[in-house]
Amino acid sequence: MRCDEFAGPVLYGDEWRGQDFQGRRVAVLATGRDAVRVLPVVARTAGSVKVFLEDADWVLPVLPRPARMLLGPRGRRTVARIHLRLSVRDPWLRRLLTPDDRFGDHAATSSHGFYRAIQGERCKLIRWPVYAVTEHGVRSAEGIEHRVDVIVVPAPGRLGRARPKRITRTTSQREELTA
């Protein structure tokens, strides 16, 4: 996702660490495991956070190391599923946070505060696909421009799943396709 046009700061990788967002509006563009890492910390100082979550991952509660070692991949998913069920009461939000393992297993990341943070009053989860970043904010496919002051992109390389090779077409070719 190109963020060149955005007027405010764009923090890539770990640049969000140690930042005081001073009540500003922050957008986090991330996949599951990165959002889990970033959100609880960013939400502490931001005025509001919109998490544009590209793909959800499983979230485990913080377990003692021996318990983590004992759980196999299936066990981790079961624990994560129970954790989600117990932590998120709203069925629609829970649906949005449930990973789809049909085409490949999702990672299970440990986090103590992600589900609490995402349900906080100042946070909003957005699962609409993001298609552009403009001067003032992030545009997602439900047709709304979300105005923000700062954009955090913790792992740009992980965004853009199942993306086909970019095809260069002239406008008339594109018009023809949708005629």
**Positions in the binding site for other proteins (CB under 8 A):** 25, 90-93, 95, 100, 103, 128-129, 131-132, 136-137, 139-148, 161-162, 164-167, 169, 174, 177-179
Q: Which CB atom, from 18 or from 104, has the smaller least distance to other proteins?
A: 104
Find the shortest distance in angstroms from Cβ 101 to other proteins. 11
Buried b (16+ CB within 10 A) or exposed e, 20-57: ebeebbbbbbbbbbbbbbbbbbbbeebebbbbbbbbbb
Find the shortest distance in angstroms from Cβ 83 to other proteins. 20
Kind of pairing between the strands at 108-110 and 58-60: parallel
Residue 139, helix vs strand vs coil: strand
User: Could you give the C-alpha distances from 146 to 3, 27, 139, in angstroms and in order?
Assistant: 14, 9, 6
Q: Which CB atom, from 37 or from 52, has the smaller least distance to other proteins?
A: 52
Buried b (16+ CB within 10 A) or exposed e, 122-155: ebebbbeebeebeeebbbbeeeeebebbbbbbbb
Find the shortest distance in angstroms from Cβ 62 to other proteins. 28
Q: Which CB atom, from 37 or from 117, has the smaller least distance to other proteins?
A: 117
Find the shortest distance in angstroms from Cβ 52 to other proteins. 12
Q: Which CB atom, from 70 or from 141, has the smaller least distance to other proteins?
A: 141
Residue bearing tokens 């997602």: 140
Q: Which CB atom, from 77 or from 146, has the smaller least distance to other proteins?
A: 146
Q: Which CB atom, from 65 or from 102, has the smaller least distance to other proteins?
A: 102
- Per-residue 3-state assignment (H helix, E strand, C coil) for 111-134: CCCHHHHHCCCCEEEECCCEEEEC
Find the shortest distance in angstroms from Cβ 142 to other proteins. 4
Find the shortest distance in angstroms from Cβ 94 to other proteins. 10
